[in-house]
Amino acid sequence: MEDLLNNINHPDDLNELTNEELTQLSDEIRDFLICTVSETGGHLASNLGVVELTIALHKHLNSPKDKIVWDVGHQSYTHKILTGRKDKMTSIRKRNGLSGYPKLKESEHDIIETGHSGTSISSALGLACARDHRGSSERIYSVIGDGAITGGMAFEALNHGGHLEKDFNIVLNDNDMSIAKNVGALSNYLAKLRTDPSLRKISGEMGDLLNSIPGIGSGMFKTMDKAKDSLKYLLVPGVLFEEMGYTYLGPVPGHDIEALIKIFEQADKINGPVVIHVNTIKGKGYYPAESCPSDYHGVGSFKIENGESEKTKTNITYSQVFGETVTRLAEEDMRVVGITAAMPAGTGLDLFQERFPERFYDVGIAEQHALTLSAGLARGGMRPIVALYSTFLQRGYDQLIHDLALQNLPVTIGIDRAGIVGSDGETHQGQFDLSYLRAVPNLTVMAPKDEQELVEMIKTGHKLDNPAAVRYPRGEGLGIDLDYSRSEIKVGKGELLLDGNKILVIAIGSMVHPSREAIEDLKDNKSKIGLYNARFVKPLPEEIIELAQKYDYIITVEENSLNGGFGSAVMELLADNKLQQKLIKRMGIPDKFVEHGGQNEMRDYYDLSIRGIKEFILNILEGK
Ligand SMILES: Cc1ncc(C[n+]2csc(CCOP(=O)(O)OP(=O)(O)O)c2C)c(N)n1
Ligand SMILES: CC(=O)[C@@H](O)[C@H](O)COP(=O)(O)O
Ligand SMILES: [Mg+2]
């Protein structure tokens, strides 16, 4: 069999291929993806599901003149391969390698950078408006999954797009899965469109019948508005989209390149916005991923022959400790409800879901709604615990302020993936939460130094009558023995871990442990360095004021942006207490988006490692 893939360096190369060859190419790409991702890790199942769809889009369109906007962007690997990046795919998600998402600096075919869900319809609509302002004629396609379309942003954009009536096409890639099983009324509706053959049959037969009545049938649709409206519910499968101003096409089998190209041709002839409903199989072509797509949504390296992870056993993760703690709290307190925005497994809340399905809410990819829903639940007498990744909590900032904090409601937010997340890169870093959370009145903000403190902080949040946020890092804990019975911590109370006389290191959360190791490593100088675990970013422990007076230098260490972060809070506290003359140095993330790379590798790059902290302290000791 000829190796077609080796000759594809640009989408134009597809023009030479017959439909049979395109099908062969899709097989080659699938093999290539499985091989590559088994070594690099990445978003396997989503990418396997869109191989034919991506080939068909690139065959049909003329990229980069025509625009393809990927929602989330985690499914853009075939797009990368077809646009000249095949040879770099082994570097994907590694430092200085290809990003796992569309990146403007990588290729002129990457139109919009993404990573968060639900942006593609807004972006495509914006591109369509810009095109019309400029008077040009490019075609614009957004590709959005059935999971991503459940988010508020997608709904807002659909609403506006139907109103503007611009020419642009939305490819709805429906694989009946989010990361977990997709949820919600829209998801149920799509399932009906996908699976109800009677609906499709009625639609076809009634349409044919009416059209066959000479002089009446075809006119009937056009003239009898009322009848048309009521019939439409029976006849038109995508009536929801149709009523919103879109032409609905499909569903079309998403692994049939010929059928896909045909429907794209049809869509291009239609004036106004079009929704093209495409059915795909998540994980297509790799048995383990096809049979359990949620396990292969995002993977580390694995053995191809059986799909087993190559990762050796690790310590319990912070997410698992969070899930266990919430589940135990729920056993004692009937008021505890757990809420996730489409991330039950990622946040560890799947354990709670299994144990208390009736008290568990997966709201879909809808962080804003998750927070305001929790406000309603709290107002109604419950004690909600919301689990969100730091990067996705950014979506719900106003809800946090307006719906939770303003009304001072007792909701605890578990903020997972705070700090540097690693290979997902810029779009997913949890580098801002301390900065934006500390501005919010009524909110208690905590960060545990280890998984034991996480248990205690979740319990602390649960006991409070105001909103509380606990932020913790991606990945495993320190491997300490856990005691789930230990109770809450006094609010605003840190702990002095090491006493010294010259430099006081004030660390928060994930930076306490490496700070301690760095100080231990300083040997002779060790006794000069004090270490304080602040635990609380808000309220900051007042004892810092007294402690600071004993030392010549203060160093703050945080896994957060320096702008407005923990270090800034300490400086403000000292300045407000007339201690601004103290020499204070802050360690943290500079004013930059942190690129992808290994989690510890990127921490070390920003000196947020034992090595980095040790060198920083030594420089001060040596008067540099
Ligand atoms: C705002 C936001 N919340 C959560 C996520 C995490 N996330 C990434 S992909 C995904 C599921 C997307 O499902 P779908 O759009 O159907 O794509 P599929 O993976 O099934 O192809 C989720 C929840 C995200 N990227 N952005
Ligand atoms: C695309 C996306 O947003 C998620 O799949 C994300 O990559 C998950 O990250 P974790 O691997 O940290 O759960
Ligand atoms: Mg999906």
What is the predicted pLDDT for the residue at 195?
Answer: 78
Do both 413 and 531 map to the same domain? no
Total structural domains within the chain: 3
CATH number at residue 509: 3.40.50.920
Kindly report which listed range (1-5, 74-78, 363-367, 525-529) carries the lowest average pLDDT score. 1-5
Q: Across residues 330-344, what is the average pLDDT?
A: 98
Do both 428 and 506 map to the same domain? no
Is 347's C-beta closer than 6 angstroms to any atom of ligand 1? no
Confidence of residue 581 (pLDDT cuts 50, 70, 90): confident
What is the DSSP-derived secondary structure letter of residue 105? T
In a domain, 218, yes or no: no
* DSSP string covering 32-88: HHHHHHHHH-B-HHHHHHTHHHHHHHHHHS-TTTSEEEESSSTT-HHHHIIIIIGGG
Do both 458 and 539 map to the same domain? no
Q: Across residues 561-578, what is the average pLDDT?
A: 96
| 116 appears as a binding residue in the annotation | yes
Choose which residue among 72, 120, 292, 427 to substitute to test ligand 1 binding: the one with the highest number of ligand atoms within 8 A of its C-beta.
72
What is the predicted pLDDT for the residue at 237?
Answer: 76
- Determine the distance separating the centroid of ligand 1 and the alpha carbon of 30, expressed in angstroms: 21
Do both 249 and 368 map to the same domain? no
Average pLDDT of the residues of the chain: 94
| 256 appears as a binding residue in the annotation | no
Listed residue (440, 476, 466, 446) closest to 458, CA to CA: 446
How far is the CA of 83 from the CAs of 38, 102, 141, 181, in angstroms? Answer: 22, 11, 17, 31
What is the predicted pLDDT for the residue at 580?
Answer: 76
In a domain, 556, yes or no: yes
| 148 appears as a binding residue in the annotation | yes
Do both 247 and 359 map to the same domain? no
Do both 39 and 102 map to the same domain? yes
CATH number at residue 351: 3.40.50.970
- Determine the distance separating the centroid of ligand 1 and the alpha carbon of 75, expressed in angstroms: 10
Judged against a pLDDT cut of 60, whether residue 430 lies above it is answered with yes
Confidence of residue 17 (pLDDT cuts 50, 70, 90): very high
User: What is the edge-to-edge ordering of all strands in the sheet holding 583-589?
Assistant: 495-498, 529-533, 503-507, 553-561, 583-589
The residue ranking higher by pLDDT, 238 or 595, is 595
In a domain, 479, yes or no: no
Do both 54 and 146 map to the same domain? yes
How far apart CA 179 and CA 259 sit, in angstroms, is: 27
Do both 192 and 247 map to the same domain? yes
Ligand 2 environment, Cβ below 6 A: 72, 74, 179, 297-298, 346, 417, 421, 424, 474
In a domain, 489, yes or no: no
Is 53's C-beta closer than 6 angstroms to any atom of ligand 1? no
pLDDT over 90 percentage in the chain: 89
Domain end among 471, 506, 525? 471
Phi-psi domain of 429 (left: phi exceeds 0; alpha: psi -120 through 50; beta: other): beta
Do both 73 and 154 map to the same domain? yes
Kindly report which listed range (50-59, 236-245, 471-480) carries the lowest average pLDDT score. 236-245
Domain end among 471, 487, 519? 471
Do both 416 and 542 map to the same domain? no
Domain end among 439, 471, 503? 471
What is the predicted pLDDT for the residue at 235?
Answer: 58
Confidence of residue 222 (pLDDT cuts 50, 70, 90): very low
- In sequence order, what are the residues at sequence separation of 6 or more whose Cβ sits closer than 8 angstroms to the Cβ of residue 347? 319, 322, 323, 340, 387, 388, 389, 414, 416
In a domain, 308, yes or no: no
**Which residue has a Cα nearest atom 4 of ligand 1?**
365
In a domain, 232, yes or no: no
Q: Across residues 208-233, what is the average pLDDT?
A: 49
Q: Across residues 368-390, what is the average pLDDT?
A: 98
Tens digits of residue pLDDT in 189-218: 999 888 765 555 444 444 454 455 555 444
Q: Which atom of ligand 2 lies closest to the CA of 116?
A: 3
Q: Which atom of ligand 1 lies closest to the CA of 71?
A: 15
Judged against a pLDDT cut of 60, whether residue 231 lies above it is answered with no
**Which residue has a Cα nearest atom 11 of ligand 2?**
298
How far apart CA 54 and CA 60 sit, in angstroms, is: 10
**Which residue has a Cα nearest atom 5 of ligand 2?**
298
Judged against a pLDDT cut of 70, whether residue 226 lies above it is answered with no
Do both 36 and 179 map to the same domain? yes
What is the predicted pLDDT for the residue at 312?
Answer: 80
Tokens 């077809």 sit on residue: 82
What is the predicted pLDDT for the residue at 402?
Answer: 98
How far is the CA of 545 from the CAs of 270, 284, 404, 431, 449, in angstroms? Answer: 68, 60, 30, 26, 21
Confidence of residue 364 (pLDDT cuts 50, 70, 90): very high
Q: Across residues 131-151, what is the average pLDDT?
A: 97
Judged against a pLDDT cut of 50, whether residue 110 lies above it is answered with yes
Q: Across residues 322-343, what is the average pLDDT?
A: 98
In a domain, 148, yes or no: yes
In this prediction the ipTM stands at: 0.99
How far apart CA 245 and CA 455 sit, in angstroms, is: 50
| 79 appears as a binding residue in the annotation | no
Strand partners, 173: 145, 278
Do both 281 and 322 map to the same domain? no
Domain, as residue range, for 335: 318-471
How far apart CA 6 and CA 228 sit, in angstroms, is: 52
In a domain, 508, yes or no: yes
